[in-house]
Amino acid sequence: MNEVRYSTVNLLRVAQSFPATPRIMAQLGPLLRDPNTALADVAVLLKHDSTLAARLLRIANSAAFAQSEPVASIEDAAALIGLRDVHRLIGAVAVDHFSLRNFPLYGFTGPRLRDNAIFVALLMEELAAFASEDSAAAYSAGLFRSIGKLALATIADEHAAVAPFRPVDTLTLIGWEKHTFGVASNQATAAILQEWHFPAAVTDAIAGHYAPPGASQPLAGLLNLAAQLADERGHGLPGESAYWLDPAGLARTVGVNTRQIDRAADHAVVAFDRINRALG
């Protein structure tokens, strides 16, 4: 049996078993957009997840943020790391959890998924700044765009053997997903993130990024471009390259130029290395 019965209820049930960290990211986004946000407000939110708070303390005390005195409180950790990097690192911690297992159904390992998610997110953050879009929303869209794949893979694990996706087959990635589950993973991701109260800018970007509608949804175009850039730099996921559009055309649509794309990629590489060192 190669088909799995899909339902939104089943999808959201599986998503509820995932760590709570992405939900905290959804709450952190509005705080970052508020110029009156204080570090104390962020610390209160982080304390809602004791595991996350403990991980951030370890990161603050790691070689990536080497200090002469140990950091003992989440408030001090947030102050040391800074709001922007707190947002980045919380997201990285969220997807790092998924690197503990592999996903043979989709043909990628957990570490490859994590690297793709973090690198695309960093590219999105940088590109969004050049395009005058919300950097926090862009980062979240890049980071969590594959959550639907993880949920669908988990649903498949609960059933009889499911034929894995093979890029060399005649079915495209979305064609295979719709044949197997009745839904494409980008649509599944959008449904999950809506349930987690991410803003429409994030869910719409993910839902549309394989076929971005144009200037009406610039984040979808940016996400297509960012995922393509990650693919070119060795951090792609199987079967997705068929959906990457002409980068020059995308750049014009979303309002960035070649120089800005190159700068965004250079900055993302540096930030990617720092985050990986912080994660250990």
Which domains does the chain show, CATH number per domain? 8-18+102-279 (1.10.3210.10)
Pure H helices in 82-196: 83-97, 110-130, 135-144, 147-157, 173-181, 185-195
Counting as low any pLDDT under 70, the low residues of the chain are: 1-6, 66-68, 160
Q: Which residues does 162 contact at the CB level (< 8 Å), separation at least 6?
A: 1, 2, 3, 4, 105, 156, 180
Residue 112, pLDDT score: 97
Residue 68, pLDDT score: 65
The predicted model scores a pTM of: 0.91
Residue 231, pLDDT score: 97
Residue 237, pLDDT score: 97
Residue 23, pLDDT score: 84
The CA distance from 48 to 61, in Å, is: 21
CA angle 256, 209, 90 (to 5 degrees): 85
- pLDDT single digits (tens) 110-119: 999 999 999 9
- pLDDT single digits (tens) 185-220: 999 999 999 999 999 999 999 999 999 998 889 999
Q: Which residues does 7 contact at the CB level (< 8 Å), separation at least 6?
A: none
Q: Are 242 and 228 in contact (CB under 8 A)?
A: no
The CA distance from 133 to 100, in Å, is: 33
